[in-house]
Amino acid sequence: METSGNNDHDAERGDRRAARDALADADSVSREVRFPLVPYWFVTLNAVLFAALVLGQLAGDERFLAMGGAMVAIVAMNLAASHRAGVVGANSAPKSFAAFMIACLAVIVASFIWYESSGEEWTVYSCAALAGCLIALSGIAYRRARHG
């Protein structure tokens, strides 16, 4: 007649399993909200715009205007996409985002220094290609980390 003890133990085990499942579901929903799926066109457009930002320094006297225009386009597109997804400013990984932004800034600064010291346009084209690849690879990594 030990069935009462076994039933209590089984019920407790079922409650723990249900609690674990509920936490896993909550985490899944939280990730869906914080990290929305970004389409490939969005990643591609960001890569092209970032490369255009680097290429803007070839615009001569108008380089700051060209680079500023590319920056405005990048910010506007990302804000519009964030508003559409409903997650403006949501980011649970500020360290990785900061590292990403430092890498982007490093490419821009390196391209300035390299071009100004050499005067050769191919240096800017190389940095623009690197910039586009950096954005594309980070977008692909995000999609894989987010959606397996």
Q: How many structural domains comprise the chain?
A: 2
Residues 41 and 13 in one domain: no
What pLDDT is attached to residue 70?
A: 87
Task: State whether 51 and 13 are in the same domain.
Answer: no
Same domain, 125 and 113: yes
81 and 141 within one domain: yes
Cβ density class 79-102: b for 16+ within 10 Å, e for less: eebeeeeeeeeeeeeeeeeeebee
| pLDDT classification of 133: cutoffs 50, 70, 90 | very high
Same domain, 125 and 92: yes
Give the pTM: 0.67
Q: What is the DSSP letter of 2?
A: T
Distance, C-alpha 54 to centroid of its chain? 19
Tell whether 122 and 67 lie within a shared domain. yes
Residues 3 and 52 in one domain: no
Q: Which residues does 42 contact at the CB level (< 8 Å), separation at least 6? A: 77, 81, 139
Mark whether 11 and 61 lie in a shared domain.
no
d(CA 148, CA 145): 6
Look up the domain containing 9 and give its range: 1-34
- Token duo for residue 95: 């360290």
Distance, CA of 121 to CA of 111 (rounded, Å): 10
User: Looking at residue 9, what is its pLDDT?
Assistant: 66
Chain center to CA of 41:
14
Same domain flag for 9 and 54: no
Predicted local distance difference test score (pLDDT) of residue 95: 67
